Amino acid sequence: MDMMRKRARTSMDSTIVDVWKREVGELQSRNFAHRLAASEGVVLRLDILRKLEKHKGCVNTVSFNADGDILVSGSDDRSVILWGWETGRVRLSFHSGHHNNVFQAKIMPYTEDRKIVTCAADGQVRLAQILERGKVETKLLAEHEGRAHKLAIEPGSPHIFYTCGEDGLVQHIDLRTSIATELFTCQSVHPQNYKSVIQLNTISIDPRNPNFFAVGGSDQFARLFDIRKYKWDGSTEFGQPINFFCPPHLVGDENVGITGLAFSDQRELLASYNNEFIYLFTGDMGLGPDLVPTSSVSDDSDAGDMSPDHNSVASPAAIDGNTTAAPQVYKGHLNCKTVKGVNFYGPRCEYVVSGSDCGRIFIWKKKGGKLIRVMEADKDVVNCIEPHPHTMNLASSGIESDIKIWIPKAIDRATLPTNIKMKRPKPRGWMHRMISPEDLMLQLVSLQSRRTRQERSGESSDVRRSLLQMLLTFDANSDGSSADGDEDTTTGAEECST
């Protein structure tokens, strides 16, 4: 008790000292605001301001505009809504034009909030143009064979963004020409494996150097690319990453994949793994551009029970005996059921935030990985946590049909619950499960059309492997049971394609 009083007094004293420094001119007002906003006391006083309710299905995406006064959301009901989140009122609601669940919706910067780009479970990438008197026109920009989970806007650009999908394809789109350029299809590090194409879940662009972007999906590697290496005349193949990132103990683990990526303003890369934890990589933690086969991988007892894999890979530096620093790890949440995002939080990315299968929001200190806040949000899974661009407010959404707005307004500082599990969950296999024969047929039809096109050019081997992978995945999960032998009671989360 005495220690807790001492901590509270120390925190208060530091705030008073900052106020004094600001008044006598030793601390600039901007730095004072940043230090105050990033204080742990602000995070511990987050509470729900209001719920935004209009969608009729799972809310798979929330995103603020550049000014921070508008929140855009997309849902399984295929609608897109622009909210005045401070008042809770709907500014505009329209049908996205998609035939299936909307997975991502973002407002293009410097377009007077009139251009919104979306991607969805139907594989389409669309542009919504807001006209006068609330009229909206949507048009198709590009397509993926299979679900398209994420898109990433080039920082500060009103024209350029990237998309990725479960077909492994990464596309570059310029709204000035409405042309989609297929950059590459992400390939496995084991070409002989039937999982030759990596199903991509997430893409993120480095805010300090937009030439760099990272992708993650159905294997353990986050891949970093440099768009400057792409030859726009198509004279060279662009598909080799300039760097790979993976925690050392996961290099040979085929039970994990990446569901979310985010860059900080210091060029750190945050990666959220399913059936695992969240990791923070700095630039010197990369495995290099060339991964080579090894006989086994080491076991890291701190991260969970792992077994050596005789079909794993490693970097040349690892073979030479050089070891890189281990990434910071963030533990406590659960990421097994859905494709969850991850984000930085705070004026200078002082915190890491994520949703969880348990319906709660987790907040860690970036430096050191200490869990400081767990907030009860939904009755089911929370997938999306979106920080406000200028304040310490948050928006969250998931399996439920509403959006929750969080602001630091609570009088009392929150305390951590006692039932937080800090161990790795039991592996359940990769989350891309076919939950119904209808879903399987939809994917088979789209892949068959791709196979027909590629057979004409003599390049159908990748598609055949994709078809085989899909059939094996469906067969492995057709009994509806979880990998650890327990009865699967997550119907709501599995049926919602977030």
- Model pLDDT for residues 365-424, shown as the tens digit of each residue: 999 999 999 999 999 999 999 999 999 999 999 999 999 999 999 999 999 988 787 777
Calculate the dihedral angle through the C-alpha atoms of 304, 251, 333, 71, rounding to the nearest 10 degrees: 180
441 forms beta bridges with none
Contact residues for 488 (Cβ-Cβ < 8 A; gap 6+):
480, 481, 482, 494
C-beta atoms surrounding 436 within 10 Å = 13
Distance separating the N- and C-terminal Cα atoms of the chain: 43
Element (H, E) at 446: helix 437-456
CA distance 171 to 359: 33
Element (H, E) at 495: helix 491-495
Runs of H (alpha helix) within 24-70: 29-37, 40-43
Contact residues for 17 (Cβ-Cβ < 8 A; gap 6+):
none
CA distance 136 to 321: 59
Per-residue model confidence as pLDDT tens for the chain (498 residues):
444 444 444 444 555 566 555 556 655 555 545 667 778 999 999 999 999 999 999 999 999 999 999 999 999 999 999 999 999 999 999 999 999 999 999 999 999 999 999 999 999 999 999 999 889 999 999 999 999 999 999 999 999 999 999 999 999 999 999 899 999 999 998 766 656 899 999 999 999 999 999 999 999 999 999 999 999 887 888 999 999 999 999 998 989 999 999 999 999 999 999 999 999 999 999 999 988 755 444 444 444 433 334 456 666 555 455 556 899 999 999 999 999 999 999 999 999 999 999 999 999 999 999 999 999 999 999 999 999 999 999 999 999 999 999 999 999 999 998 878 777 777 665 554 434 454 455 455 555 555 554 555 454 445 555 554 555 444 444 444 333 333 333 334 433 444
Nearest by Cα to 159 from 172, 139, 175, 182 = 175
What's the predicted TM-score (pTM) here?
A: 0.81
Indicate the angle between helix axes 437-456 and 461-477, nearest 10 degrees: 170
CA distance 42 to 39: 6
Element (H, E) at 473: helix 461-477
Nearest by Cα to 271 from 244, 296, 289 = 244
Which segments within 336-423 are labelled E, that is strand? 342-345, 351-354, 360-365, 371-376, 382-387, 394-398, 402-408
Here the tokens at position 247 are 């925690």
